[in-house]
Every structure is written in structure tokens, then in C-alpha cells.
Amino acid sequence: MEAGANPNDGQALYNRMFGRDDDHLALLLEYGLGRGDREPWSSRLGVELEGAAGLLGDQLGWAILHDHNARVALLLRGGGAAPDGQLRGGRTPLELATVYGKTEAARLLRAAGATGPDLDAVDRLMAAGMIADRPTAAALLDEHPELVAAAVARHPSAILRATGAGNADAVRLLAELGFDVNALGRTDLPIEEPWETALHEAAGAGNGDLVTLLLGLGADPTVRDNRFGSTPADWAAHFGHSISELGPPPRGRA
């Protein structure tokens, strides 16, 4: 950095964002990450990228979704990330945190001045499901009996997201509401793309309690994910977990 390296380097941020260590981020913020318009990749790739300020938004969105709350606080406090700014996909940070049940991130955002969020009934039902708020869900359905179909259409992989958050109560409530326990989705970004099921997620994480719960709710252990063509048992074996409910690992797998 002292030799002139550009702190607004999206590839460097991507390479380090998956872990919980934020020393790289603190250093880059100290040297100007998020300030100005200059970043090194537009000229190298010959395309127009989002610019320096957008890098902070991407980091904030990732930190919210993945419960990296120390990073949320760092970006808001030391990075100047806008608590009411628009993230990739069109949501504000507080909308993202609320819809996906990230209550600590939502608290940090409100403390930093975020307002709202102004959610429609579909997103309010999703938000209630993600924190297992039965009274709010019941009140919404009393007022809008048709709401579940719209919520399932907008958030088909809700049970996968609740599984990724390790929230068994949310998994139960979402299943009771009518969300598909076998829906394919992804947990890393706030988009719907058919990657894997909740059972794959639980098996890969070695969460036997959630595996048992999902199987009891009708999860299909024979479904293969759309990226690797693997079953939940394959995922458990790949990550070194032995989950008896899924049966023995496939022959030849560790």
C-alpha cells in the first residue's frame, strides 16, 4: 500500500471476504478503500465496473447475509458505508437484513441511522418466517389468506436460507406455512438460483439435528444438486461428516 497499490481492488476484497478475519479490510479502509472513483480493473478488463463506492456496498451486503456482524460494524463505522444506500439487487441494507432474518445486522444498521424498511406483505411474511415469528405470520395470513403462494413464488428457497442460518424454528415455521423443503436454491447471495437443497446444506455443515428435522419434514435424500450432481450424503462425506440418518457414504468416498 505504501508503494502505491490501489486499495479499491474488488478482487482482493473477494479473495478475503469468506473468512471472518477483517484485518485486510481495516488496512484497506485506512488507505482509502471506498473513496474516490479509481479502481484498477476497469482499464485492465476493458469494461466499466461499479467504482470504489460500490465495493463497500458489496462488502456490506455479504457481511449482512453471512452474519459477519463485526464486519458490518466496521464498514459502517470506519468505512463510511451508507446505511440507507442501495445494494446490488435494489434493496437497502436494512431491507436485506430484515427480509432474511439478520436481526443483529439490522440493529447495527438502525444504530447507524438506517430507516424503514418499507416492506410489502410478501417480504413481511418472509421476514417473519426467517425469525420464526409465528404471531406476525398468523396476523399477515389472517389479513391476506393468499399470501403464502406469492411468498413461495418470490422466495422459493426460504427453507434452505433458514437452514443455512442454522435456525430450526424458522425451518419448522416455513415448512408449516407451505414452503417447499426440497426447493433448490443458494445461500451465498440474495438471488434465487437452483443450486442445492436445504438437506445438502445441513449435511455439508454436519448439522445432524437439522438433517433429522428436514428428513422428518419430507426432505428427499436422493435429490442431487445442480452444480456437482451430488446427494446430501455425498456432501456430508466430502466435508468429512458422518450423518447416520443419510445412510453410509457412497462407495469409494472418505
pLDDT beyond 90 at 203: yes
Question: What is the rounded average pLDDT for all residues in the chain?
Answer: 91
- Per-residue DSSP letter, 196: B
The pLDDT tens digits for 153-173 are 999 999 999 999 999 999 999
The pLDDT tens digits for 50-95 are 777 788 999 999 999 999 999 999 999 877 788 888 898 889 999 9
What Cα–Cα distance (Å) separates residue 208 from each residue in 99, 161, 164?
A: 26, 17, 13
Residue 179: count of CB within 10 angstroms of its CB: 24
Q: What is the pLDDT of residue 247?
A: 59
Q: What is the pLDDT of residue 47?
A: 65
Comparing CA positions, the residue from 14, 8, 102, 30 lying closest to residue 64 is 102
Residue with cell 472418505: 254
Cell numbers representing residue 10 in the block? 474488488
Q: What is the pLDDT of residue 252?
A: 44
- Per-residue DSSP letter, 86: P
Question: What is the reported pTM?
Answer: 0.89
All domains in the chain, ordered by first residue: 10-111 (1.25.40.20), 121-246 (1.25.40.20)
pLDDT beyond 70 at 234: yes
Distance CA 240, CA 221 (A): 18
Q: What is the pLDDT of residue 254?
A: 39
Comparing CA positions, the residue from 55, 52, 28 lying closest to residue 39 is 52
Q: What is the pLDDT of residue 248?
A: 52
